[in-house]
Amino acid sequence: MDTSHCVEATLWHPVAAAAELERGPRAVTLLGEDLVAWRDDQGRARVFVDRCPHRGARLSLGSVQDGRLACPYHGWQFEGSGRCSRMPAQPGFEPPASHAARSVEACEAHGLVWARLQAGSAALPDFAAAADTRLRQVLCGPYDVATSAPRIVENFLDQAHFPFVHDGWLGEAGVTETPPCQAREDAAGVHVTGCRAWQPRSNRLSTEGSWVSYDYSVIAPYTAVLHKAPDAQAGHREAIALFVCPMTPEHSRVWFVQATADGVSGDADLRAFQDAIFGQDKPVLESQRPRLLPLSEAASALEVHGAADLATMAYRRWLRRTGVRFGTC
Ligand code: FES
Ligand SMILES: [Fe+2]
Protein backbone atom coordinates (compact mmCIF):
# COMPACT_ATOMS: atom_id res chain seq x y z
CA MET A 1 0.00 0.00 0.00
CA ASP A 2 1.32 3.41 -0.91
CA THR A 3 0.76 5.79 2.00
CA SER A 4 3.49 8.19 0.87
CA HIS A 5 1.08 11.03 0.07
CA CYS A 6 -1.42 10.47 2.89
CA VAL A 7 -1.98 13.05 5.63
CA GLU A 8 -2.18 10.16 8.10
CA ALA A 9 1.40 9.10 7.29
CA THR A 10 2.58 12.41 8.79
CA LEU A 11 0.73 11.82 12.09
CA TRP A 12 1.91 9.94 15.18
CA HIS A 13 0.16 6.62 15.79
CA PRO A 14 0.45 4.11 18.66
CA VAL A 15 2.00 0.82 17.52
CA ALA A 16 2.79 -1.18 20.69
CA ALA A 17 2.67 -1.05 24.47
CA ALA A 18 6.06 0.14 25.74
CA ALA A 19 6.23 -2.82 28.15
CA GLU A 20 5.96 -5.31 25.26
CA LEU A 21 9.44 -4.39 24.03
CA GLU A 22 11.04 -5.87 27.16
CA ARG A 23 10.30 -9.29 25.64
CA GLY A 24 12.21 -8.57 22.41
CA PRO A 25 11.39 -7.18 18.98
CA ARG A 26 7.68 -6.94 18.13
CA ALA A 27 6.16 -7.10 14.65
CA VAL A 28 3.58 -4.33 14.23
CA THR A 29 1.61 -2.97 11.29
CA LEU A 30 0.86 0.70 10.70
CA LEU A 31 -1.05 2.07 7.71
CA GLY A 32 -0.42 -1.19 5.86
CA GLU A 33 3.34 -1.04 6.48
CA ASP A 34 5.05 -3.96 8.28
CA LEU A 35 7.27 -2.55 11.02
CA VAL A 36 9.35 -3.87 13.92
CA ALA A 37 9.46 -2.12 17.30
CA TRP A 38 12.38 -2.82 19.65
CA ARG A 39 14.48 -1.22 22.38
CA ASP A 40 18.15 -0.28 21.79
CA ASP A 41 21.16 -0.23 24.14
CA GLN A 42 20.20 3.25 25.40
CA GLY A 43 16.75 1.91 26.38
CA ARG A 44 15.20 3.92 23.57
CA ALA A 45 12.21 2.58 21.61
CA ARG A 46 13.02 2.17 17.93
CA VAL A 47 10.83 1.37 14.95
CA PHE A 48 12.23 0.01 11.66
CA VAL A 49 10.64 -1.18 8.46
CA ASP A 50 10.38 -4.93 9.09
CA ARG A 51 12.59 -5.94 6.21
CA CYS A 52 16.31 -6.64 6.28
CA PRO A 53 18.22 -4.67 3.62
CA HIS A 54 20.32 -7.79 2.87
CA ARG A 55 17.83 -10.41 1.61
CA GLY A 56 14.49 -9.09 2.84
CA ALA A 57 13.95 -11.34 5.89
CA ARG A 58 11.67 -10.07 8.65
CA LEU A 59 13.77 -8.40 11.33
CA SER A 60 11.01 -9.01 13.89
CA LEU A 61 11.91 -12.73 13.78
CA GLY A 62 15.37 -11.81 15.07
CA SER A 63 16.53 -10.78 18.52
CA VAL A 64 18.16 -7.90 20.36
CA GLN A 65 21.85 -8.63 20.98
CA ASP A 66 24.09 -6.18 22.86
CA GLY A 67 21.46 -3.48 22.26
CA ARG A 68 21.43 -4.09 18.49
CA LEU A 69 18.69 -5.67 16.39
CA ALA A 70 20.01 -8.91 14.85
CA CYS A 71 18.47 -10.31 11.68
CA PRO A 72 17.35 -13.98 11.99
CA TYR A 73 18.79 -14.96 8.58
CA HIS A 74 22.52 -14.09 8.43
CA GLY A 75 22.81 -12.27 11.76
CA TRP A 76 23.54 -8.76 10.51
CA GLN A 77 23.23 -6.38 13.44
CA PHE A 78 21.65 -2.93 13.32
CA GLU A 79 22.11 -0.07 15.77
CA GLY A 80 19.24 2.13 16.97
CA SER A 81 19.92 4.60 14.15
CA GLY A 82 19.56 1.77 11.61
CA ARG A 83 23.28 1.62 10.87
CA CYS A 84 24.57 -1.89 10.23
CA SER A 85 27.56 -2.44 12.52
CA ARG A 86 28.22 -6.16 12.17
CA MET A 87 28.08 -8.75 9.38
CA PRO A 88 29.03 -12.08 10.99
CA ALA A 89 30.05 -13.69 7.66
CA GLN A 90 32.74 -10.99 7.27
CA PRO A 91 33.75 -10.06 10.83
CA GLY A 92 36.47 -7.56 9.80
CA PHE A 93 34.32 -5.69 7.26
CA GLU A 94 33.03 -2.19 8.00
CA PRO A 95 29.48 -2.12 6.52
CA PRO A 96 28.76 0.97 4.41
CA ALA A 97 25.78 3.31 4.95
CA SER A 98 23.86 1.52 2.18
CA HIS A 99 23.58 -1.55 4.44
CA ALA A 100 21.41 0.29 6.98
CA ALA A 101 17.93 -0.81 8.03
CA ARG A 102 15.19 1.74 7.29
CA SER A 103 14.30 3.54 10.48
CA VAL A 104 11.00 5.28 11.19
CA GLU A 105 10.52 8.11 13.73
CA ALA A 106 9.48 6.74 17.14
CA CYS A 107 8.83 7.94 20.68
CA GLU A 108 7.09 6.86 23.88
CA ALA A 109 4.10 8.39 25.64
CA HIS A 110 1.14 7.23 27.76
CA GLY A 111 2.72 3.75 28.12
CA LEU A 112 2.73 3.29 24.33
CA VAL A 113 5.32 3.38 21.57
CA TRP A 114 4.33 5.83 18.81
CA ALA A 115 5.60 5.97 15.25
CA ARG A 116 5.11 8.12 12.20
CA LEU A 117 5.99 7.11 8.68
CA GLN A 118 6.79 10.59 7.39
CA ALA A 119 7.97 13.86 8.90
CA GLY A 120 5.10 16.15 9.82
CA SER A 121 4.22 19.08 12.03
CA ALA A 122 1.38 17.48 14.05
CA ALA A 123 2.23 16.93 17.71
CA LEU A 124 1.59 13.73 19.62
CA PRO A 125 -2.05 13.52 20.86
CA ASP A 126 -1.77 15.24 24.22
CA PHE A 127 -3.69 13.07 26.66
CA ALA A 128 -1.39 14.30 29.46
CA ALA A 129 -2.80 17.81 29.01
CA ALA A 130 -6.33 16.50 28.88
CA ALA A 131 -6.10 14.23 31.94
CA ASP A 132 -5.59 15.08 35.58
CA THR A 133 -1.99 14.04 36.24
CA ARG A 134 -2.73 13.45 39.94
CA LEU A 135 -4.85 10.46 38.98
CA ARG A 136 -3.57 6.97 38.53
CA GLN A 137 -3.30 5.89 34.87
CA VAL A 138 -3.84 2.30 33.76
CA LEU A 139 -3.23 1.08 30.21
CA CYS A 140 -5.80 -1.47 28.96
CA GLY A 141 -5.53 -3.61 25.83
CA PRO A 142 -4.45 -4.28 23.18
CA TYR A 143 -7.72 -5.23 21.54
CA ASP A 144 -7.49 -6.31 17.89
CA VAL A 145 -10.60 -5.47 15.92
CA ALA A 146 -11.53 -6.40 12.36
CA THR A 147 -12.76 -2.97 11.41
CA SER A 148 -11.43 0.47 10.47
CA ALA A 149 -10.03 2.92 13.02
CA PRO A 150 -12.71 5.60 12.46
CA ARG A 151 -15.51 3.07 13.08
CA ILE A 152 -13.93 2.48 16.52
CA VAL A 153 -13.72 6.22 17.27
CA GLU A 154 -17.38 6.59 16.33
CA ASN A 155 -18.37 3.74 18.65
CA PHE A 156 -16.55 5.53 21.49
CA LEU A 157 -18.56 8.73 20.80
CA ASP A 158 -21.88 6.92 20.43
CA GLN A 159 -24.15 7.02 23.50
CA ALA A 160 -27.34 5.54 22.02
CA HIS A 161 -25.84 2.03 21.98
CA PHE A 162 -25.32 1.84 25.77
CA PRO A 163 -28.73 0.28 26.69
CA PHE A 164 -28.39 -2.31 23.91
CA VAL A 165 -24.73 -3.30 23.83
CA HIS A 166 -23.91 -2.60 27.50
CA ASP A 167 -27.21 -3.47 29.25
CA GLY A 168 -26.58 -3.68 33.00
CA TRP A 169 -23.22 -1.89 32.66
CA LEU A 170 -23.06 1.47 30.85
CA GLY A 171 -26.78 1.47 30.05
CA GLU A 172 -30.06 -0.18 30.93
CA ALA A 173 -32.52 -1.79 28.52
CA GLY A 174 -35.46 0.18 29.94
CA VAL A 175 -33.75 3.60 29.63
CA THR A 176 -33.19 4.09 25.91
CA GLU A 177 -33.81 7.80 25.33
CA THR A 178 -30.52 9.63 24.77
CA PRO A 179 -30.53 13.06 26.46
CA PRO A 180 -29.47 15.84 24.06
CA CYS A 181 -25.85 16.98 24.03
CA GLN A 182 -23.90 19.59 22.06
CA ALA A 183 -21.28 18.77 19.43
CA ARG A 184 -19.03 21.06 17.46
CA GLU A 185 -15.80 20.73 15.54
CA ASP A 186 -12.95 23.19 15.00
CA ALA A 187 -9.36 23.02 13.79
CA ALA A 188 -8.26 21.23 17.00
CA GLY A 189 -10.83 18.44 16.83
CA VAL A 190 -14.36 17.55 17.93
CA HIS A 191 -15.88 18.71 21.22
CA VAL A 192 -19.00 16.99 22.59
CA THR A 193 -20.40 18.47 25.80
CA GLY A 194 -23.34 18.00 28.13
CA CYS A 195 -23.68 14.21 27.74
CA ARG A 196 -25.67 12.31 30.36
CA ALA A 197 -26.35 8.61 30.66
CA TRP A 198 -28.04 6.34 33.19
CA GLN A 199 -25.39 3.77 34.02
CA PRO A 200 -26.08 0.75 36.26
CA ARG A 201 -22.37 0.04 36.55
CA SER A 202 -20.28 2.98 35.35
CA ASN A 203 -17.02 1.71 36.83
CA ARG A 204 -15.58 -1.28 38.65
CA LEU A 205 -16.55 -0.04 42.11
CA SER A 206 -20.15 1.03 41.35
CA THR A 207 -22.68 -0.68 43.58
CA GLU A 208 -25.79 1.03 42.21
CA GLY A 209 -26.95 2.88 39.08
CA SER A 210 -26.49 6.63 38.67
CA TRP A 211 -26.78 9.41 36.10
CA VAL A 212 -23.26 10.04 34.82
CA SER A 213 -22.27 13.33 33.13
CA TYR A 214 -19.36 13.53 30.74
CA ASP A 215 -17.81 15.24 27.72
CA TYR A 216 -15.89 13.84 24.79
CA SER A 217 -13.08 15.28 22.70
CA VAL A 218 -11.53 13.89 19.56
CA ILE A 219 -7.96 15.22 19.70
CA ALA A 220 -6.47 13.38 16.70
CA PRO A 221 -8.12 11.44 13.86
CA TYR A 222 -7.93 8.14 15.78
CA THR A 223 -7.66 9.41 19.38
CA ALA A 224 -10.53 10.45 21.64
CA VAL A 225 -10.91 11.25 25.33
CA LEU A 226 -13.96 10.92 27.58
CA HIS A 227 -13.98 13.21 30.63
CA LYS A 228 -16.36 12.51 33.46
CA ALA A 229 -17.84 15.48 35.33
CA PRO A 230 -15.37 16.94 37.84
CA ASP A 231 -15.57 15.55 41.36
CA ALA A 232 -16.38 18.78 43.24
CA GLN A 233 -15.14 17.47 46.58
CA ALA A 234 -11.91 15.86 45.46
CA GLY A 235 -11.27 18.46 42.76
CA HIS A 236 -10.24 15.96 40.10
CA ARG A 237 -11.72 14.76 36.86
CA GLU A 238 -11.56 11.13 35.72
CA ALA A 239 -10.93 10.41 32.04
CA ILE A 240 -10.63 7.54 29.59
CA ALA A 241 -8.53 7.89 26.44
CA LEU A 242 -9.03 5.78 23.34
CA PHE A 243 -5.93 5.21 21.21
CA VAL A 244 -6.37 3.36 17.91
CA CYS A 245 -3.59 2.07 15.65
CA PRO A 246 -4.80 1.97 12.02
CA MET A 247 -3.02 -1.26 11.02
CA THR A 248 -4.72 -1.76 7.66
CA PRO A 249 -7.86 -0.06 6.30
CA GLU A 250 -10.04 -2.73 7.94
CA HIS A 251 -7.95 -3.91 10.91
CA SER A 252 -7.11 -1.90 14.00
CA ARG A 253 -5.44 -2.30 17.38
CA VAL A 254 -6.96 -0.48 20.33
CA TRP A 255 -5.72 0.64 23.75
CA PHE A 256 -7.48 2.59 26.47
CA VAL A 257 -5.83 4.59 29.25
CA GLN A 258 -8.00 5.04 32.31
CA ALA A 259 -7.15 8.07 34.47
CA THR A 260 -9.00 6.96 37.58
CA ALA A 261 -9.52 7.99 41.20
CA ASP A 262 -10.02 4.30 42.09
CA GLY A 263 -7.18 3.62 44.49
CA VAL A 264 -8.63 0.30 45.65
CA SER A 265 -8.82 -1.95 42.56
CA GLY A 266 -5.71 -3.64 41.24
CA ASP A 267 -4.52 -2.92 37.67
CA ALA A 268 -5.72 -6.39 36.62
CA ASP A 269 -9.21 -5.67 38.00
CA LEU A 270 -9.43 -2.36 36.12
CA ARG A 271 -8.26 -4.07 32.95
CA ALA A 272 -10.82 -6.85 33.42
CA PHE A 273 -13.60 -4.23 33.61
CA GLN A 274 -12.38 -2.61 30.37
CA ASP A 275 -12.02 -6.06 28.76
CA ALA A 276 -15.67 -6.80 29.64
CA ILE A 277 -16.94 -3.49 28.21
CA PHE A 278 -14.93 -3.66 25.01
CA GLY A 279 -15.79 -7.36 24.65
CA GLN A 280 -19.41 -6.21 24.34
CA ASP A 281 -18.54 -3.61 21.66
CA LYS A 282 -16.28 -5.77 19.52
CA PRO A 283 -18.79 -8.17 17.87
CA VAL A 284 -21.08 -5.29 16.88
CA LEU A 285 -18.15 -3.23 15.60
CA GLU A 286 -16.94 -6.17 13.51
CA SER A 287 -20.43 -6.68 12.10
CA GLN A 288 -20.75 -3.18 10.62
CA ARG A 289 -20.70 -2.96 6.82
CA PRO A 290 -18.90 -1.42 5.22
CA ARG A 291 -16.02 -1.76 7.63
CA LEU A 292 -14.67 1.48 6.17
CA LEU A 293 -16.41 4.60 7.46
CA PRO A 294 -18.67 6.01 4.71
CA LEU A 295 -17.24 9.52 4.40
CA SER A 296 -17.20 10.48 0.73
CA GLU A 297 -20.24 12.09 -0.81
CA ALA A 298 -21.10 8.90 -2.68
CA ALA A 299 -20.55 6.55 0.30
CA SER A 300 -22.36 8.74 2.83
CA ALA A 301 -25.65 7.85 1.12
CA LEU A 302 -25.16 4.33 2.57
CA GLU A 303 -26.24 5.42 6.06
CA VAL A 304 -28.99 7.52 7.65
CA HIS A 305 -28.80 9.52 10.86
CA GLY A 306 -30.87 10.58 13.86
CA ALA A 307 -30.70 13.34 16.47
CA ALA A 308 -28.71 11.00 18.76
CA ASP A 309 -25.91 10.93 16.16
CA LEU A 310 -24.76 14.53 16.66
CA ALA A 311 -21.32 13.53 17.95
CA THR A 312 -20.54 11.06 15.18
CA MET A 313 -21.81 13.52 12.57
CA ALA A 314 -19.44 16.18 13.93
CA TYR A 315 -16.61 13.62 13.79
CA ARG A 316 -17.37 12.86 10.13
CA ARG A 317 -17.40 16.57 9.25
CA TRP A 318 -14.10 17.11 11.06
CA LEU A 319 -12.48 14.05 9.44
CA ARG A 320 -13.42 15.40 6.01
CA ARG A 321 -11.74 18.67 6.95
CA THR A 322 -8.49 17.00 8.08
CA GLY A 323 -7.99 15.20 4.77
CA VAL A 324 -7.47 11.89 6.60
CA ARG A 325 -8.94 9.12 4.48
CA PHE A 326 -7.38 5.89 5.77
CA GLY A 327 -10.17 3.59 6.99
CA THR A 328 -12.88 5.48 5.09
CA CYS A 329 -14.68 5.05 1.80
S1 FES B 1 18.57 -11.28 5.24
FE2 FES B 1 19.11 -10.22 7.02
S3 FES B 1 21.17 -10.71 7.35
FE4 FES B 1 20.67 -11.65 5.49
FE1 LIG C 1 -19.67 0.64 23.69
CATH number where 85 lies: 2.102.10.10
Percent of residues in the chain assigned helix, strand, coil, to nearest 5: 20, 35, 40
Mutate to test the pocket of ligand 1, among 52, 59, 86 (most ligand atoms within 8 A of CB): 52
Neighbours of 161 (CB within 10 A): 16
Q: Does 180 map to a domain?
A: yes
300 in the same domain as 221: yes
Total domain count, the chain: 2
**Final residue of a structural domain among 116, 142, 158:** 116
| Residue 2 pLDDT | 64
106 and 137 fall within a common domain: no
Nearest by Cα to 129 from 220, 16, 222: 220
One domain for residues 303 and 245 = yes
Q: Are residues 137 and 37 in the same domain?
A: no
In-domain check, residue 87? yes
Task: Give the pLDDT score at 193.
Answer: 97
In a domain, 327, yes or no: no
**Whether 186 and 297 share a structural domain:** yes
Nearest-CA residue for ligand 1 atom 1 is 55
Closest ligand 1 atom to 74 CA: 3
In 3-state terms, what secondary structure has residue 131?
Answer: coil
Domain closes at, from 97, 116, 135: 116
CA torsion 96→30→69→53, rounded to 10°? Answer: -30
Q: Whose CA is nearest to atom 3 of ligand 1?
A: 74
Q: What is the CATH number of the domain that holds 173?
A: 3.90.380.10
Consecutive 10-residue runs of the chain (329 residues): their mean pLDDT? Answer: 78 98 97 98 97 98 98 98 98 97 96 96 79 87 98 98 97 95 96 96 91 95 94 86 98 96 95 98 98 96 96 98 97
Say what the pLDDT of residue 128 is: 67
| Chosen domain end from 116, 137, 163 | 116
Q: How many CA atoms does the CB half-sphere of 202 hold within 13 Å?
A: 20
As a residue count, the chain comes to: 329
Q: Is residue 149 assigned to a domain?
A: yes
User: Do 67 and 202 reside in the same domain of the chain?
Assistant: no
- The answer to whether the CB of 321 is under 6 A from ligand 1 is no
State if residue 73 touches ligand 1 by the CB under 6 angstroms criterion: yes
- pLDDT for res 4: 58
Q: Which atom of ligand 1 is nearest to the CA of 55?
A: 1
Q: Distance from the CA of 278 to the center of ligand 2, in angstroms?
A: 7
Q: Could you give the CA distance from residue 197 to residue 185 in angstroms, rounded to a whole number?
A: 22
52 lines ligand 1 (CB under 6 A): yes
Do the domain assignments include residue 121?
no
Asked if residue 101 and residue 177 are part of one domain, the reply reads no
Determine whether the shortest distance from the Cβ of 61 to ligand 1 is under 6 A: no
Q: Could you tell me if 56 and 173 lie in one domain?
A: no
**Any domain includes 2:** no
247 with 215, same domain?
A: yes
Domain around 206: 127-322
Relative to the CA of 71, which ligand 1 atom is closest? 2
The residue whose CB lies within 8 Å of the most ligand 1 atoms, and thus the one to mutate among 76, 85, 87, is 76
Assess whether 107 and 169 both reside in one domain.
no
What does the pLDDT read at residue 232? Answer: 80
- Cα(225) to centroid of ligand 2, in Å? 14
Position 246 in a domain: yes
Closest CA to 276 of 253, 250, 252, 256: 256
Do residues 30 and 140 share a domain?
A: no
Question: Would the CB of 71 count as within 6 Å of ligand 1?
Answer: yes
Cβ of 74 closer than 6 Å to ligand 1, yes or no, is yes
Q: In this structure, are 256 and 157 located in the same domain?
A: yes
Q: Domain for residue 50, yes or no? A: yes
Question: From CA 60, how far away is CA 44, in angstroms rounded?
Answer: 17
